[in-house]
Amino acid sequence: GESVGLHLPTLSVQEGDNSIINCAYSNSASDYFIWYKQESGKGPQFIIDIRSNMDKRQGQRVTVLLNKTVKHLSLQIAATQPGDSAVYFCAESSNDYKLSFGAGTTVTVRA
Amino acid sequence: GAVVSQHPSWVICKSGTSVKIECRSLDFQATTMFWYRQFPKQSLMLMATSNEGSKATYEQGVEKDKFLINHASLTLSTLTVTSAHPEDSSFYICSAAGQGDTQYFGPGTRLTVL
């Protein structure tokens, strides 16, 4: 079936560098995309979202890019900090408010 | 704003017993609440969707008689794992959505069945 997936399961980044986390989705009907951060033993924390009528959205230190042509979503974190170490999930939805989560990328920030 | 709580945060029970997990939206009214299950180092899998005052909609493969969901008010949903067995041990997470479609997640409940 169609699903949301991530290109890389792990990402190691030097503190202060920028991070890019990628996500591929296959459901062409998806119109709402969200990035979540999950720390160990905790629930997912909303980071940023984007709708299919946009291709870029910026938040505080984070930017989400959406390329509907190739069904690709990315999360950019500027000046990565140790507190950014976590598992990052992309999720997609198509009209029914149900979210389908990707496999997750573990981000480790090196001091 | 948009705070969701869960209780308990962790529970250990004997095989065959039932466990109830509460999910509350603290500062908004949740039209819809969702229940997820997450096994170690895996992603979140949606179990069911519940709307206040109506029966929950379960995802394929989720036993509705085993995972009882009640959404009695706009701020409270409960998940009861009936006759729990070791394979039900998991991290159960709820989320709540208000008027929009953004889901806000609770902190999760770690269930361990001995």
Query: What pLDDT does B107 receive?
Result: 97
Percent of chain B with pLDDT over 70: 99
A window 89-108, beta carbon within 8 A of B: 89, 93, 97-104
Is it the case that residue B57 has pLDDT exceeding 50?
Answer: yes
Cβ proximity of A57 and A32 under 8 Å: no
Query: What pLDDT does A11 receive?
Result: 94
Is it the case that residue A2 has pLDDT exceeding 50?
Answer: no
Q: HSE of A1 in the Cβ direction (CA atoms, 13 Å)?
A: 3
Question: Residue type for A66, please?
Answer: L
Query: What pLDDT does B22 receive?
Result: 97
Q: A-chain residues within 8 Å CB-CB of B44?
A: 44, 89, 99, 101
- Name the phi and psi angles at B95, rounded to 5: -140, 160
Q: Which residues of B32-45 are buried (b: 16+ CB within 10 A; e: fewer)?
A: bbbbbbbeeeebbb
Shortest distance between the Cα of B83 and any Cα of chain A, in A, equals 25
A window 16-75, beta carbon within 8 A of B: 32, 34, 36, 41-46, 49
CB pairs < 8 Å spanning A and B = 51
Query: What pLDDT does A94 receive?
Result: 85
Is it the case that residue A1 has pLDDT exceeding 50?
Answer: no
Closest to B79 in 3D by CA, of B30, B31, B18, B27: B18
Query: What pLDDT does B1 receive?
Result: 67
Give residue-wise pLDDT tens across range B60-113: 999 999 999 998 899 999 999 999 999 999 999 999 998 777 899 999 999 999
Query: What pLDDT does A4 receive?
Result: 59
Shortest distance between the Cα of A28 and any Cα of chain B, in A, equals 19
Query: What pLDDT does A73 receive?
Result: 96
Q: B-chain residues within 8 Å CB-CB of A3?
A: none
* CB nearest to A44's CB, from B2, B42, B44: B44
Give residue-wise pLDDT tens across range A13-70: 999 999 999 999 989 999 999 999 999 999 999 999 999 999 999 999 999 999 999 9
- B76 interfacial to chain A (CB closer than 8 Å): no
In three-state secondary structure terms, A95 is: coil
Query: What pLDDT does A6 receive?
Result: 45
* CB nearest to B44's CB, from A32, A49, A101: A101
Query: What pLDDT does A5 receive?
Result: 54
Chain B residue whose CA is closest to A106: B41
Percent of chain B with pLDDT over 90: 79
Is it the case that residue A96 has pLDDT exceeding 80?
Answer: no
The mean pLDDT value of chain B amounts to 93
Query: What pLDDT does B100 receive?
Result: 74
The residues, ordered by sequence, that sit 6+ positions from B94 with a Cβ below 8 Å of its Cβ are B4, B6, B21, B23, B33, B34, B35, B36, B77, B79, B105, B106
What is the Cα–Cα distance from B105 to A101, expressed in whole angstroms? 13
Three state DSSP letters for chain B? CCCEEEECCEEEECCCCCEEEEEEECCCCCCEEEEEEECCCCCCEEEEEEECCCCCEECCCCCCCCEEEEEEECCEEEEEECCCCHHHCEEEEEEEECCCCCEEECCCEEEEEC
